[in-house]
């Protein structure tokens, strides 16, 4: 069964068609990679899924429900969480508080509960705290819980974003260049982490330029260029697809 | 950390006993400090925690004060009973004002709120609906009464005002430590990331604005009760500037910072009265220096603490009790 289904998705910015009739599906429990040259429209596809942009045409269906037009926080609470290409952490808050942000949408207490510390509010805070710590443990940042997030190394900041996304208890996790800025070792750990997430029953959709990671972690790869889908298939298939090779390396005639 | 609380305690004791040895004039200065501390705390929710620049906070203060004054003088309702009414009118006014403008960012929001503050002041001068008394304002607001004790002298007001400050500090501190308080900070830090983490940013911005405004409305009630006469001049742009400055100067997002800011902004000019006209000069110079050397304010907020071990032995990480 497909968890996420993009159907004929189109997004135009003025005269530029950033995403041009793109359709693909993400099966429940799978890891899908979205690749393509810079400026191909990958991040725009992500922004369309998470409600940051509204599509001009086409639909996004998540778990049988159309989510086009919904606000981002609503989509998050339905079970889609994301990380950002350029790291967007709450820099002046602690690592733990960054993860607690993810817990927010599974909590309910408001102004009254906060001011008067009702029993329900206290219990909820406890639960959120242990959930946040568990997610930090999961990505291996438990020992940095009380650090300011801005003091983490670049790779760890990426992991923290993943922990924050996981704390929303998503069913689909969308990672925008998770290995960007990571060294080889960190990338290997990330691949293991993605496998662990799959083990938790999560579905993962990721954009990545590190082909080693994409080939190792993804079961299905979707390739887009100039906003159009040019190929889709398993890692082996994609590696040998002439259109993909052309998009990445150029044709022989073009080479000098 | 423990030493911090001891210092707060000592300050509180000195403050609470001060009417015993200060004369009426200085107690009255402390009353003003208390009122501005309350206004600063309410504005701190909006400016300090949420990062929404509001330079028209006096408008909500005015709505509260006029609600109290009008209902008290026309219908003889005891003034303190009107506290909820003042909160509701100021809060409702904030909803109406903020709804269409809350998505504006930084300086744009700032300019619009200045406009709102001016509109309210000018509307009051022009005697809207014929109930605000125009430029003369409203006279004869009755003094507050507690179980038959009429609060009249500065010493009595001192305890009323600072009791309200204490309640506010208590509630706002807890709010700061809660899910609500964190949500405000997330959206101050990065709105896109906050929304992407599942926080309804539009809702929280509005909630912070309305809660801050409602609180300012209640302070307006106390102000009206203290002065027994209110007029549009008391709610000028300058008042909004004072509130904004004391939050920024003291340390935005920090309750002790705002309290200290109120003492410095309202109290210090009184202390410097001896310098006559030069006092504002000294004061201004001090502020410029502050902004250069300590941009985060005098007492910036302390990070929240959570009941976890700090991870030195992460392998045997204890679960929080």
Q: Please judge whether A73 and B193 are an interchain contact, meaning their C-beta atoms are less than 8 angstroms apart.
A: no
Can you say how many angstroms the Cα of residue A207 is from the centroid of all Cα atoms in its chain?
A: 8
Q: Please judge whether B174 and A115 are an interchain contact, meaning their C-beta atoms are less than 8 angstroms apart.
A: yes
Interface contact A86, partner B, CB < 8 A: no
- What is d(CA B185, CA A160) in angstroms, rounded to the nearest whole number? 18
Listed by number, the residues of chain A in 56-75 with a beta carbon closer than 8 Å to a beta carbon of chain B are 71-74
**pLDDT of res. A253:** 59
pLDDT beyond 50 at B315: no
Which among B182, B192, B211 is the nearest to A111, CB-wise?
Answer: B211
pLDDT beyond 70 at B317: no
pLDDT beyond 90 at B213: yes
- What is d(CA B110, CA B96) in angstroms, rounded to the nearest whole number? 17
Closest Cα in chain A to B314? A143
Interface contact A97, partner B, CB < 8 A: yes
- What is d(CA B86, CA B123) in angstroms, rounded to the nearest whole number? 18
**pLDDT of res. B310:** 57
Contacts of A165 in chain B (CB under 8 A): 197
pLDDT beyond 70 at A53: yes
pLDDT category of residue B154 using cuts at 50, 70 and 90 = confident
Is residue A89 a contact partner of residue A149, using CB atoms and an 8 Å limit?
Answer: yes
The residues near B170 (Cβ < 8 Å, ≥ 6 apart) are: none
Mutate to test the interface with A, among B45, B91, B179, B316 (most CBs of A within 10 A): B179
pLDDT beyond 60 at A65: yes
The residues near B187 (Cβ < 8 Å, ≥ 6 apart) are: B50, B51, B194, B195, B199, B201, B204, B205
**pLDDT of res. B318:** 35
Interface contact A133, partner B, CB < 8 A: yes
What is the nearest CA distance from B315 to chain A, expressed in angstroms?
A: 9
- The token pair that represents A137 in the structure block: 């443990």
Listed by number, the residues of chain A in 141-180 with a beta carbon closer than 8 Å to a beta carbon of chain B are 142-146, 148, 164-165, 168
**Which of these, A211, A218, A118, A134, lies nearest to B178 by C-alpha position?**
A118
- What is d(CA A171, CA A151) in angstroms, rounded to the nearest whole number? 30
- The token pair that represents B127 in the structure block: 């005697």
- Chain pair A-B, CB pairs under 8 angstroms: 136
**pLDDT of res. B105:** 83
Q: Please judge whether B303 and A94 are an interchain contact, meaning their C-beta atoms are less than 8 angstroms apart.
A: yes
Q: Please judge whether A73 and B200 are an interchain contact, meaning their C-beta atoms are less than 8 angstroms apart.
A: yes
Q: Please judge whether B197 and A104 are an interchain contact, meaning their C-beta atoms are less than 8 angstroms apart.
A: yes
Closest Cα in chain B to A91? B189
Q: Please judge whether A113 and B186 are an interchain contact, meaning their C-beta atoms are less than 8 angstroms apart.
A: no
pLDDT tens readout for residues A147-204: 999 999 999 999 999 999 999 999 999 999 999 888 999 999 999 999 999 999 999 9
Contacts of A117 in chain B (CB under 8 A): 174, 178
Which long-range contacts link B156-162 to residues 24+ away (Cβ below 8 Å)?
B157/B31, B157/B226, B158/B18, B158/B19, B158/B27, B158/B30, B158/B31, B158/B34, B159/B19, B160/B222, B161/B31, B161/B34, B161/B35, B161/B38, B161/B222, B161/B226, B162/B15, B162/B16, B162/B30, B162/B34
Q: Please judge whether B196 and A50 are an interchain contact, meaning their C-beta atoms are less than 8 angstroms apart.
A: yes
Window from A52-61, A174-183, B212-221, B288-297 with minimum mean pLDDT: B288-297
What is the nearest CA distance from B211 to chain A, expressed in angstroms?
A: 9
Window from A205-214, B135-144, B281-290 with minimum mean pLDDT: B281-290
Window from B214-223, B250-259, B302-311 with minimum mean pLDDT: B302-311
Which among A92, A102, A126 is the nearest to B320, CB-wise?
Answer: A126
pLDDT tens readout for residues A89-112: 999 999 999 999 999 999 998 899
pLDDT tens readout for residues B68-84: 999 999 998 998 999 99
- What is d(CA A163, CA A134) in angstroms, rounded to the nearest whole number? 9
pLDDT beyond 90 at B103: no
Contacts of B1 in chain A (CB under 8 A): none
**pLDDT of res. B316:** 38
The values of phi and psi at residue A232, to 5°, are -155, 135
- What is d(CA A104, CA B182) in angstroms, rounded to the nearest whole number? 9
Q: Please judge whether B200 and A52 are an interchain contact, meaning their C-beta atoms are less than 8 angstroms apart.
A: no
**pLDDT of res. B273:** 74
Contacts of B207 in chain A (CB under 8 A): 111
Torsion angle in degrees (nearest 10) through CA of A19, A23, A28, A33: -50
Which among A114, A129, A148 is the nearest to B180, CB-wise?
Answer: A114
* Higher-scoring residue by pLDDT: B287, A153: A153
Is residue B248 a contact partner of residue B295, using CB atoms and an 8 Å limit?
Answer: no
- Coil/strand/helix, residue A82: strand
Mutate to test the interface with A, among B197, B310, B314 (most CBs of A within 10 A): B197
Is residue B46 a contact partner of residue B72, using CB atoms and an 8 Å limit?
Answer: no
Which among A76, A110, A148 is the nearest to B198, CB-wise?
Answer: A76
Angle value at C-alpha A211, between A210 and A216, nearest 5 degrees: 110
Q: What is the value of ipTM here, to two decimals?
A: 0.90
Q: Is the backbone of residue B251 left (phi > 0), alpha (psi -120 to 50) or beta?
A: left
Q: Please judge whether A142 and B175 are an interchain contact, meaning their C-beta atoms are less than 8 angstroms apart.
A: no
How do strand A16-27 and strand A2-13 relate by DSSP bridges?
A: antiparallel
**pLDDT of res. B133:** 87
The H helix count followed by the E strand count for chain A is 10, 10
**pLDDT of res. B312:** 45
Closest Cα in chain A to B172? A115
3-class SS letters over A14-51:
CCEEEEEEEEEEEECCCEEEEECCCCCCHHHHHHHHCC
Alpha-carbon distances of B211 from A111, A112, B103, B215, B263, rounded to whole Å: 9, 11, 17, 6, 24
pLDDT beyond 50 at B321: no
What is the nearest CA distance from B41 to chain A, expressed in angstroms?
A: 15
How do strand A57-62 and strand A2-13 relate by DSSP bridges?
A: antiparallel
pLDDT tens readout for residues B158-204: 999 999 999 999 999 999 999 999 999 999 999 999 999 999 999 99
**DSSP string covering B65-120:** HHHHHHHHHHH---GGGGHHHHHHHHHHHHHHHHHHHTT--HHHHHHHHHHHHHHH
**pLDDT of res. B276:** 65
- What is d(CA A141, CA A129) in angstroms, rounded to the nearest whole number? 14
Which among A76, A114, A146 is the nearest to B179, CB-wise?
Answer: A114
- The token pair that represents B69 in the structure block: 């004054």
pLDDT beyond 50 at A56: yes
**pLDDT of res. A57:** 93
**pLDDT of res. B190:** 94
Contacts of B314 in chain A (CB under 8 A): 142-143
* Higher-scoring residue by pLDDT: A141, B308: A141
Interface contact A42, partner B, CB < 8 A: no
Alpha-carbon distances of B80 from A152, A243, B132, B162, B210, rounded to whole Å: 51, 77, 20, 15, 21
**Which of these, A175, A203, A144, A185, lies nearest to A34 by C-alpha position?**
A175
Arithmetic mean of pLDDT over chain B: 89
Q: Please judge whether A114 and B175 are an interchain contact, meaning their C-beta atoms are less than 8 angstroms apart.
A: yes
How do strand B145-146 and strand B149-150 relate by DSSP bridges?
A: antiparallel
Contacts of A73 in chain B (CB under 8 A): 195, 198-201
């Amino acid at each position: 069964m497909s968890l996420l289904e993009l159907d004929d998705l189109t997004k135009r910015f003025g005269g530029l068609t950033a995403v041009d009739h793109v359709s693909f599906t993400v099966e429940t429990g799978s890891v899908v990679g979205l690749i393509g040259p810079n400026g191909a429209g990958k991040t725009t596809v992500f922004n369309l899924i998470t409600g940051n942009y509204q599509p001009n045409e086409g639909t996004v269906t998540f778990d049988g429900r159309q989510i086009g037009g919904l606000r981002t926080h609503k989509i998050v609470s339905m079970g889609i969480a994301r990380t950002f290409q350029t790291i967007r952490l709450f820099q002046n808050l602690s690592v733990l508080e960054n993860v607690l942000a993810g817990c927010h949408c599974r909590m309910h207490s408001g102004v009254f509960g906060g001011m008067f510390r009702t029993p329900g509010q206290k219990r909820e805070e406890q639960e959120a705290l242990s959930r946040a710590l568990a997610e930090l443990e999961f990505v291996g940042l438990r020992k940095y819980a009380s650090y300011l997030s801005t003091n983490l190394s670049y790779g760890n900041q990426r992991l923290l974003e993943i922990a924050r996304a996981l704390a929303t208890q998503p069913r689909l996790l969308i990672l925008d260049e998770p290995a960007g800025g990571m060294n080889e070792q960190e990338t290997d750990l990330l691949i293991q982490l993605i496998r662990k997430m799959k083990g938790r029953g999560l579905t993962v959709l990721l954009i990545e330029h590190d082909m080693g990671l994409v080939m190792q972690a993804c079961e299905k790869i979707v390739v887009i260029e100039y906003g159009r889908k040019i190929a889709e298939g398993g890692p082996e298939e994609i590696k040998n697809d002439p259109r993909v090779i052309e998009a990445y390396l150029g044709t022989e005639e073009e080479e000098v | 950390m423990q030493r911090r609380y001891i210092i707060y305690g000592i300050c509180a004791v000195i403050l609470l006993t001060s009417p015993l040895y200060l004369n009426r004039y200085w107690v009255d200065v402390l009353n003003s400090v208390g009122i501005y501390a309350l206004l600063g705390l309410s504005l701190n929710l909006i400016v300090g925690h949420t990062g929404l620049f509001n330079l028209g906070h006096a408008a909500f203060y005015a709505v509260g004060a006029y609600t109290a004054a009008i209902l008290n003088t026309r219908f003889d309702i005891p003034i303190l009973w009107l506290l909820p009414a003042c909160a509701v009118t100021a809060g409702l006014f904030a909803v109406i004002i903020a709804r269409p403008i809350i998505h504006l960012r930084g300086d744009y929001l700032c300019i619009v709120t200045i406009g709102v503050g001016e509109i309210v002041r000018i509307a009051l001068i022009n005697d809207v609906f014929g109930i605000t008394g125009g430029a003369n304002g409203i006279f004869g607001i009755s003094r507050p009464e507690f179980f038959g004790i009429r609060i009249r002298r500065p010493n009595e007001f001192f305890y009323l005002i600072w009791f309200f400050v204490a309640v506010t500090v208590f509630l706002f501190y807890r709010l700061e430590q809660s899910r609500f308080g964190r949500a405000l900070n997330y959206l101050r830090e990065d709105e896109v990331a906050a929304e992407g983490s599942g926080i309804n940013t539009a809702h929280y911005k509005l909630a912070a604005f309305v809660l801050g405004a409602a609180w300012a409305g209640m302070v307006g009630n106390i102000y009206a009760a203290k002065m027994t006469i209110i007029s549009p001049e008391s709610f000028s742009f300058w008042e909004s500037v004072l509130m904004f400055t004391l939050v920024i100067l003291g340390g935005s997002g920090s309750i002790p910072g705002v309290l200290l800011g109120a003492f410095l902004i309202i109290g210090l000019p009184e202390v410097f009265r001896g310098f006559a006209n030069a006092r504002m000069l000294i004061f201004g110079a001090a502020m410029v220096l502050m902004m250069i050397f300590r941009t985060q304010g005098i007492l910036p907020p302390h990070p929240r603490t959570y009941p976890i071990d700090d991870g030195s032995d992460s392998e045997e990480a204890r679960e929080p009790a």
